[in-house]
Structure 1
Amino acid sequence: MTTPDEWRILEEVTEYETPWYDGGYDLLEQPDGSEQRYYWAELPPAVVVVARVDGQVLESDSQSPEAEQSGDQLLFVEQYRPAIRETHLELPAGIVEEGESYTEAATRELEEETGFRPTSTVLLQEYAVATGVLRHDRGVVYADGLVPGERELDSNEFLEVTTVPVDRALERAREQPVNDSTLSALLLAREDGVLSGNNAE
């Protein structure tokens, strides 16, 4: 197995900058002495929120989405993704702003997108995304103890909030079209045991 010391950076070039991400390439000397360009896109960190809400909270809030059935639910948002021209059912998510932790970003994004504020959050996992082309980290945060807050969408967010029963969330997320952030976050949540039972610890 090669080590980072065996890869020498000869040049780092940013070819373009956008409000969403920067793109460019590194010219590297590979372990065998040959040279190769490796292209990348750099994005700020993002957070995905697995947010569990008590069905009674939904019933008591007139602004809440209608739940499929009683009991604990997970919050989802439906939104059109222009890059792939599809509408996806996704977990709430967003960019981590400068100075924020993943849990702080999760609390802010969840309230902005869904109108619910968590009283408890925990970081389940941080990981690098699509390492062959992206410089981008993602955190998965579990949130519960949700109470009604103030929804405040960004100018490019056209979201419909919906709920799915906790015990059906993973099954529903596997229905096409499927996206990686929702599926991986739910698998991590299931592995950590926060999707089992009526209430998470």
Structure 2
Amino acid sequence: MTDPLEWETLATETAYTCPGFDVTHEDVRLPDGTESDFDYLSEPPAVVILPFTPDGDVVLIEEWRQAVKRVNRGLPAGTMEPEDDDPAAAAHRELEEETGHEAARVAHLTTVEPVNGIANAVHHYFVAYDCHPASEQNLDFNESIRVVIESYDDLLAAIESGEIRDGRAVLGTLYYERFA
């Protein structure tokens, strides 16, 4: 049985492709019978990691974000690769690639659809425990990342003051603070 709010998809095509995402164009029929179109970003699932050192500090990244023209401080995160069957394994891989740190273990925190009005993105959040330097960073060609270690209290203060505005970092940290 379909929901009376459901839109009927009449046709789907990829309007634009670039590294990281596609723009999908769909012709749709709305519940009242009106035909229209709808475009959205289509991207693979991603993992976001809140990594703790054995001392309780957090491993953060500072990364240039071209869309907002500034360095962004936040949590390590990355797209799941086609060969990633398990989001937890992807979290381990992304943590090591972006920070050079390895986690003794990761635990699933939550899964969200961060912007489901404009994208089909799914983010799997993990907490990583006992993180320690294990290798050099292995960055993608379009990543400019600096690793920063700071206290968890400093992370919370930076979120509270608005210094950290990265939505993934804010959501993951506050979810951890409230529900973990």
Query: Does the TM-score normalized on the shorter chain lie above 0.5?
Result: yes
CA contact (8 A) 1:89 1:173 kept: no
Partner of 1:85: 69
Partner of 1:166: 152
Partner of 1:156: 142
Aligned length: 176
CA contact (8 A) 1:52 1:143 kept: yes
Aligned-pair distance for 1:153? 2.1
Alignment of 1:127-166 (within 5 A): 127-151=112-136, 152-166=138-152
Higher Rg of the two aligned structures: 1
1: CA distance between counterparts of 2:71 and 2:89?
A: 27
One-letter amino acid of the counterpart of residue 114, structure 1: T
User: What TM-score, normalized by structure 1, do the two folds share?
Assistant: 0.81
Partner of 1:184: 171
1: CA distance between counterparts of 2:90 and 2:174?
A: 21
1: CA distance between counterparts of 2:114 and 2:69?
A: 22
One-letter amino acid of the counterpart of residue 97, structure 2: E
Cα 1:137–1:4 change in 2 (3 A) is: farther
Partner of 1:63: none
CA displacement, residues 132-167 of structure 1 (integer Å, 9 cap, x when unaligned): 110111010000022321122222222111122112
CA contact (8 A) 2:164 2:170 kept: no
User: What TM-score, normalized by structure 2, do the two folds share?
Assistant: 0.90
Aligned-pair distance for 1:47? 0.8
2: CA distance between counterparts of 1:142 and 1:178?
A: 20
Cα 1:15–1:105 change in 2 (3 A) is: same
RMSD in angstroms over aligned alpha carbons? Answer: 1.8
User: Are 2:97 and 1:112 aligned?
Assistant: yes
Aligned-pair distance for 1:6? 4.2
1: CA distance between counterparts of 2:95 and 2:82?
A: 17
